[in-house]
Structure 1
Amino acid sequence: MSYEIFDPFEGAPDNVDVIEWLEGQGWSGFLAIGGDESPLRVESFRRTVDGRDEFLVDVWDVNQGSPYVKVDNFGDLMDLLARWAPAVQAAALVSAVDSLRSYGLDKDGVAELVGAKVAFGASDALPALQRHEQEQAAYRRQVAEQRKAARDAAARPSS
């Protein structure tokens, strides 16, 4: 496999729009592993130069990306993606397990979203989950107020 670190932004102005700049150089989005919300994502771009396809690959976590890697053919691109696929899968699995082990409710948590979809259907899941959280918080406040009132009443001297 032949590849090289490649800087497609050499000569780019500060604060350049990444996609616009890449498209201006003939690159277009090609294949990706992991979605925009994934904890780790591998993205590739393709362009044709002198009748031959070239590919760029970069790896992103939620905070930053890697240097771009340029490969000269589709086979090398597939090899590179195959090497990174297990890391993307592992990151997704660890993220899901961490979410499941969390003690609090998280509107983006795996268990909460699955439970809400099962209980309320996919289109109503998030609003129903948020309503449920609000109802539970109101109930906990009400119970706390009732307990406080009972303690206060018990602490008052009887006449």
Structure 2
Amino acid sequence: MSYEIFDPFEGAPDTVVATEWLEGQGWSEFLGIGDEDSVLRVQSFRRTVDGRDEFIVDVGDVVQGSPYVKVDNFGELMDLLARWAPAVQAAALVAAVDDLRSYGLDKDGLAELVGAKVAFGAAEALPALQRHEQHQAAHRRQVAAQRKVAREAAARPS
């Protein structure tokens, strides 16, 4: 497997918004394991240069990420994701067990969610979960729209 450490933020100002900078460099989110709230996440990005796809990969948690790794092709990307998948899975499992063993209550905790489903049944819990997901989706759309407006404003000549 051939890969190299790659800095997609070379030349970026200190106050750069990472997602906006990556998009401005032609990168778009591609395949990943875990999500932004996962205890460990692997996210890849893809761009096309001279008709050839390039891929970079970031491994991180909710606090920090690794240096980006650039791989030469889709097959190597899949190999890298396969190598990291067990670590992401183990981190998720450990986090779930730790959450279940916690003595405190957390409105977003795994034990509390399962308990609410058991106590109130899907008839009551499912609509509440669906409303929550709709609220989150609306928030994601709002953030995306704000980013788009900011990008367009930055692209306008002064």
* Fold similarity call, TM over 0.5: yes
Range into which the TM-score falls when normalised by the shorter chain: 0.7 to 0.9
Q: TM-score, normalised by structure 2?
A: 0.76
CA deviations over 1:70-116 (Å, ceiling 9, x no partner):
01100000000000000000000000000111112121211101111
1:123 counterpart (122, 127, 133): 127
CA deviations over 1:2-34 (Å, ceiling 9, x no partner):
100000000001110111111111111101100
Unmatched runs of 5 consecutive residues or more in structure 1: 126-159
Q: How far apart, in 2, do the equivalents of 1:67 and 1:117 lie?
A: 40
Unmatched runs of 5 consecutive residues or more in structure 2: 130-158
Q: Once superposed, which parts of structure 1, at least 4 consecutive aligned residues long, lie more than 2 Å away?
A: 117-120, 122-125
Contact 1:117 1:124 in 2 (8 A): no
| Matched position secondary structure for 1:115 | helix
**Which amino acid letter does the alignment assign opposite residue 6 of structure 1?**
F
- CA shift, 1:119, in A, is 2.8
Partner residue, 1:78 = 78
Contact 2:105 2:112 in 1 (8 A): yes
Partner residue, 1:17 = 17
Q: TM-score, normalised by structure 1?
A: 0.75
- CA shift, 1:53, in A, is 0.6
RMSD value over aligned CA atoms? 1.5
Contact 2:36 2:62 in 1 (8 A): no
Q: How far apart, in 2, do the equivalents of 1:24 and 1:104 lie?
A: 43
Contact 1:46 1:54 in 2 (8 A): yes
Partner residue, 1:28 = 28
**Which amino acid letter does the alignment assign opposite residue 108 of structure 1?**
D
Aligned length: 126
